[in-house]
Amino acid sequence: MSRIVLATPDAAFAARVDAALDAPDGQVSRAPERVLMMDAARAVDTLTAEWEAPPEVVAVGPGLPDDVALRLAGALDERVPETVVVLVAEPSPEIFERALRAGVRDVVAPDADDAALRAAVEKAAEAAERRRSARPEPDGSGPAGRIIVVVSPKGGSGKTTVATNLAVDLAGREGDTVLVDLDVQFGDASSALQLLPEHTLTDAVAAREPDATSLKVLLSKHDASGLYVLAAPHDPVEGEQIPAERAATAIELLAKEFRYVVVDTSAGLAEHTLAALEVASDLVLICSMDVPSVQGFRKTITALDQIGMTSQARHVVLNRADARVGLETSDIERTVGVAIDVELPSSRSIPLSVNQGVPVVLQDPRAPVAAALRTLGDRFASAPAEREGGGLFGRRRRKR
Ligand SMILES: Nc1ncnc2c1ncn2[C@@H]1O[C@H](COP(=O)(O)OP(=O)(O)OP(=O)(O)O)[C@@H](O)[C@H]1O
Ligand SMILES: [Mg+2]
């Protein structure tokens, strides 16, 4: 069975890919040319009838008009969800946007060198592999835990604050929680928890065939809450080298072992964030109280819808919800077109707690902002948080 199908009339390009991949016989094949100019849905039906099983990757183009290539990509995405589609076309912001909308995972230039072609196909094949393994198995062997990814279009909007407090809250209530710091360049979750991690994500993606047991050895423990943490790499250069697909695989493996995997991210929809979103069950979206953030937030929601990230449950958090900046919650809801689930007030307790490395739900559990953060935890936990007197954490801390 062919793992990679080239949907291109360009024989020279196909030969070049064949040589670049140097794959065993039969692994790379070409879609018959007559199929390529058919109506997209019919083309896909014809192809699937010929395939024994869906290939891992279909590369569409070059040599097809953009519209034809994108329609074919869209039809493949819709009808053969196991297969990952790569578009081979001259990259431009416009083509990227249209490609994303059509469900294409990557755009590669037709004149990309052999290494770039190989890398694009390998990345797509890894994504296909994850897509297959992420699908729930009938015997229930798929990921058991919830994967909660915290996302925001803008830097400094409170992702790390929310991710660390949510993770600590869930760990305190339910145990069995791990926080993954996927802000690969500037992750600061460890510092917000006063941890000095020995191992990081760099170690977690090093193994070609990682397993949950070897990953668990790389986690740091936050003793005050029982939370486990997979820390971000030590420096930005190291961070840049983390393959997004492998980070997502690590997250999935952790979800087999932990009930909750909370993922902190960098601003926007970076490559690593998108890879995590593909395996996520829940999305915590953070908006802050200013016009650029609200606009960015609206674009983020639109982009997520366009790229088909619609299966995750969405939880919308408005941070610094009480800031007097001439915006009302209702204005924001109207602008972004979604309801706000949790409002976090501004609080001096937050920077104080960050500076001391103790999350506010532990440090100042009576603060209104800590109560609001526990309301977010309520959306995931089965056990309610104790409200007055600091609850679980208050008790724990007094014991010390
Ligand atoms: N509700 C709040 N009240 C007061 N300060 C807050 C609040 N939320 C966040 N902050 C402060 O804002 C700053 C940015 O927060 P945080 O680090 O959580 O944002 P981030 O989205 O993770 O940023 P980055 O994009 O840099 O990772 C921190 O100094 C934090 O203490
Ligand atoms: Mg952060």
How would residue 286 be classed by pLDDT, with cut points 50, 70 and 90?
Answer: very high
Distance 303 CA to ligand 2 centre (A): 21
Question: Span 198-205, mean pLDDT?
Answer: 95
> In 3D, which of 147, 151, 166 has the Cα closest to residue 296?
151
Has residue 138 got a pLDDT over 70? Answer: no
Give the model confidence (pLDDT) of 9-26 as tens digits.
999 999 999 999 988 888
Strands, E assignment, 231-295:
260-264, 282-288
| Rounded Cα–Cα distance for residues 80 and 46 (Å) | 12
> In 3D, which of 51, 107, 108, 106 has the Cα closest to residue 80?
51
Give the model confidence (pLDDT) of 311-345 as tens digits.
899 999 999 988 777 788 888 898 888 899 999 99
CA trace torsion 221, 225, 231, 232 (10° rounding) = -170
Would the CB of 245 count as within 6 Å of ligand 1? no
Distance 309 CA to ligand 1 centre (A): 26
Structure tokens at 229: 């943490």
DSSP 388: G
Q: What residues contact 326, with CB distance under 8 A and at least 6 apart?
A: none
Q: Over pLDDT 70: what percentage of the chain? A: 92
- Identical fold between 4-134 and 146-399: yes
Distance 156 CA to ligand 1 centre (A): 5
Cβ-count burial of 337 within 10 angstroms (0-12 exposed, 13-18 middle, 19+ buried)? exposed
How would residue 101 be classed by pLDDT, with cut points 50, 70 and 90?
Answer: confident
Structural domain spans, the chain? 4-134, 146-399
Would the CB of 252 count as within 6 Å of ligand 1? no
pLDDT at site 134: 55
Alpha-carbon distances, residue 250 vs 56, 201, 220, 321 (angstroms): 21, 9, 15, 34
CATH of domain 4-134: 3.40.50.2300
| Rounded Cα–Cα distance for residues 110 and 287 (Å) | 39
Give this prediction's pTM.
0.67
**CATH class of the domain comprising 146-399:** alpha beta
Helix axes 271-279, 244-257, angle to 10 degrees: 30
The residue behind tokens 């660390």 is 164
